Chains A and B, each alone.
Chain A
Amino acid sequence: MSFMKSILGSAAALALSAGAALADPAIIFDLGGKFDKSFNEAAFNGAKKWADETGGSFREIELQNEAQREQALRRFAEAGSNPIVMAGFAFASALGEVAKDYPDTSFVIIDMVVDSPNVRSVVFNEHEGSYLVGMMAAMASKSNTVGFIGGMDIPLIRRFACGYAQGVKAANPDATVVANMTGTTPAAWNDPVKGSELTKAQISQGADVVYAAAGGTGVGVLQTAADEGILSIGVDSNQNYLHSGKVLTSMMKRVDTAVFNAFSDGPGLETGFNVMGLANGGVGYAVDEHNASLVSAEMTQKVEAAKVKIVSGELAVHDYMSDESCPALDF
């Protein structure tokens, strides 16, 4: 009997220590794929930065289809990963189900709000960042026509478009904004061929600066813009280097910072609503050696002035998701 007890005891101790060792953070990438040079890649970079700086390790999975969302979440939660970060709005319904089953695990969802005591919802003020690059687009445009190409037609992407259009109109009230969405299914994030054709279609409508908020589809947009000799604007990650001297700027969405913060805070992180905006460096525009020659001093000065106003609250950029309408653009 005592022998039995000691075996059980040691087994329990083993299980505990195994559990402790496994309390690594985990990250789940959305369907766009880890290396989409955009949103997911930014998330991955944040995780990698954390691993490099702390020497810690993290678990990760790249989803292959919709059905894996809940399964992947439960797997990580069962295995004791903590916190678990999800890169993507599409996790909301799956997380709503899973979060209450694992009250001791901290979850972080990016780009969506899930109301649960153990969930941190990180949302970005994309409309603010898009507003700034919209101003730059309007100032760089010679034809007074600029384009926007979204990925899948969802409210989040419309928020990009709406902020962008407001920025364009603010810098040049006479400018025209041509906006297109690639599609209505997740395939719209990975169709560079259609992205290219949309870019050509917008060029024939006079656009000479095109802003792509379309994941992998944006690769085609930036490529065609470079081929056809017009400027493009990247999104999420800094994409200026993709076509040096031909990408006006990139609207940076610091998904990497959000992931890095979540991993650094570790298990039991502060949950609730977490807004990443211009004020705390959550969004912004990228200037580096690849686009320095494209961004004039006048542009920088005006954009920085607008930035200060937005941060101070003097200038309010309309958020499409607040009322599903946009004053500057008709969808």
Chain B
Amino acid sequence: MFLDLVQVFDSSFRMATPLLLACLAGLFSERAGIFDIGLEGKMLAAAFLSAAVAAMTGSVWLGLLAGIGASVVMSVVHGLASITFRGDQIISGVAINFLAAGLTVVVSQSWFGQGGRTPQLTGAGRFETLDMPGALQGAEKASANPMMHLYSELVSGHTILVYLALLMVPLSWYVLYRTRFGLRLRAVGENPAAVDTAGVNVVFLRYSAVLICGVLCGIAGAYLATALQAGFVKEMTAGRGFIALAALIFAKWRPWHALYACMLFGFLQALALRPDLIEKYLAIKVQVQLLDALPYILTVVILAGLVGKATPPKAGGQAYVKEN
């Protein structure tokens, strides 16, 4: 029982990491009043460019930088459309999703001629898992005590980006709730006119938020293509950007709750991979499809106001027009 659970949690961590990064990305953007449904597209663009550059240079770190770059460029487009030109943020987000879905395949085809894939990454072109000192190896596993299992499966044996993503949670909390920048950023999402009256630059704040969003989405995309996989495959984000948005609503736009929501969604996804365990311990046969749908069902429950109320930032979705 215990060992099975450890394995499911181990898988949850891997499944939750891209969700968590994208969710925090959306958190920054939406807290500043810029709705972003283009998380999916940014992750996809980052996944592609990180894999492409890692394949060409053989260095996964250059790949990560390139991935972040691709995602930030998409963010700037979103910022230009929705901050500078005061366009509709939802439409701009949709456009980014389409743009990324098409561009990644076309560019990849013209660079590598493998039909929208990147070449397989090997060696230093991939993020390897980090084995912490003292983690169990192979045959030792059979005789070790449960705590050692917990340590070597859950704490050790992930890629560095997983730890980075977890680190981002307290960091985001600190930036948003304990710094002047964070206070202003949240204020700009609630009442930009007040921030403007206080002599603070609304446009600068919103652009900063959108850029932070780009960086985090970039890491999420690079994680998919260079850590979990060994290359890019078209549409490989498979809707994770949208689940991250659902997690953001579920977390009611708060960093620590984003962690809990993403871990819960990751856990449900991991559990959906092991229907045999549910059958073994609960003696009921659960349809995998139900588990797959649960994140969405939970989000609808939250949105319907059945469990507390999810109130988005007040100025979200509105372009700020300065008074003359």
Query: Which residues in A have some Cβ–Cβ distance to B below 8 Å?
Result: 33-37, 41, 178, 180-181, 183-184, 187, 190-194, 196-198, 200-201, 204-205, 216, 219-220, 223, 242
Query: Which residues in B have some Cβ–Cβ distance to A below 8 Å?
Result: 4, 7, 11, 14-15, 105, 114-117, 120, 224, 228-231, 233-236, 238-239, 269-270, 273-276, 288-289, 292
Residue of A nearest to B101 (CB): A64
Whether A196 lies near B229 (C-beta < 8 A) is yes
- Cβ of A184: which chain B residues have Cβ within 8 Å of it? 289, 292
- Determine which of A33, A34, A41, A194 lies in contact with B238 in the assembled complex, contact meaning CB atoms within 8 Å: A194
Whether A201 lies near B274 (C-beta < 8 A) is yes
- Cβ of A178: which chain B residues have Cβ within 8 Å of it? 276
- Cβ of A192: which chain B residues have Cβ within 8 Å of it? 229, 233, 236
Whether B276 lies near A190 (C-beta < 8 A) is no
Whether A35 lies near B236 (C-beta < 8 A) is no
Given A201-B273, A216-B233, are A193 and B238 neighbors across the interface (CB < 8 Å)? yes
Q: CA of A49 to CA of B197 in the docked complex: distance in angstroms?
A: 71
Q: Which 7 A-B pairs have the closest CB atoms?
A: A35-B115, A191-B238, A201-B273, A204-B7, A190-B235, A193-B228, A192-B233
Interface SS, A side: helix
Chain A min CB distance to B57 (Å): 20
Given A181-B288, A187-B238, A192-B236, are A197 and B229 neighbors across the interface (CB < 8 Å)? no
- Cβ of A198: which chain B residues have Cβ within 8 Å of it? 273
Chain A min CB distance to B171 (Å): 25
Whether B273 lies near A216 (C-beta < 8 A) is no
Q: Besides A181-B288, A197-B11, A216-B234, 11 other CB < 8 A contacts? A: A33-B116, A34-B115, A37-B117, A178-B276, A184-B292, A187-B235, A193-B238, A194-B273, A197-B15, A216-B233, A219-B117
Enumerate 27 A-B pairs (CB-CB under 8 Å) in ascending A order.
A33-B105, A33-B234, A36-B115, A37-B117, A180-B273, A180-B288, A187-B238, A190-B233, A190-B236, A191-B238, A192-B229, A192-B233, A192-B236, A193-B236, A196-B229, A197-B14, A197-B15, A197-B269, A197-B270, A197-B273, A200-B11, A201-B7, A201-B273, A204-B7, A219-B229, A223-B120, A223-B230
Chain A min CB distance to B10 (Å): 8
Q: CA of A34 to CA of B275 in the docked complex: distance in angstroms?
A: 33
Residue of B nearest to A199 (CB): B273
- Cβ of A220: which chain B residues have Cβ within 8 Å of it? 229, 233
- Determine which of A35, A196, A201, A205 lies in contact with B117 in the assembled complex, contact meaning CB atoms within 8 Å: A35
Given A200-B11, A204-B7, A216-B233, are A190 and B114 neighbors across the interface (CB < 8 Å)? no
- Cβ of A194: which chain B residues have Cβ within 8 Å of it? 238, 269, 273
Whether B236 lies near A191 (C-beta < 8 A) is yes
Residue of A nearest to B153 (CB): A204
- Cβ of B238: which chain A residues have Cβ within 8 Å of it? 187, 190-191, 193-194
Chain A min CB distance to B74 (Å): 20
Q: CA of A204 to CA of B270 in the docked complex: distance in angstroms?
A: 13
- Cβ of A191: which chain B residues have Cβ within 8 Å of it? 236, 238
Chain A min CB distance to B117 (Å): 7
- Determine which of A33, A193, A200 lies in contact with B115 in the assembled complex, contact meaning CB atoms within 8 Å: A33
- Cβ of B114: which chain A residues have Cβ within 8 Å of it? 35
Residue of B nearest to A202 (CB): B273
Chain B min CB distance to A87 (Å): 14
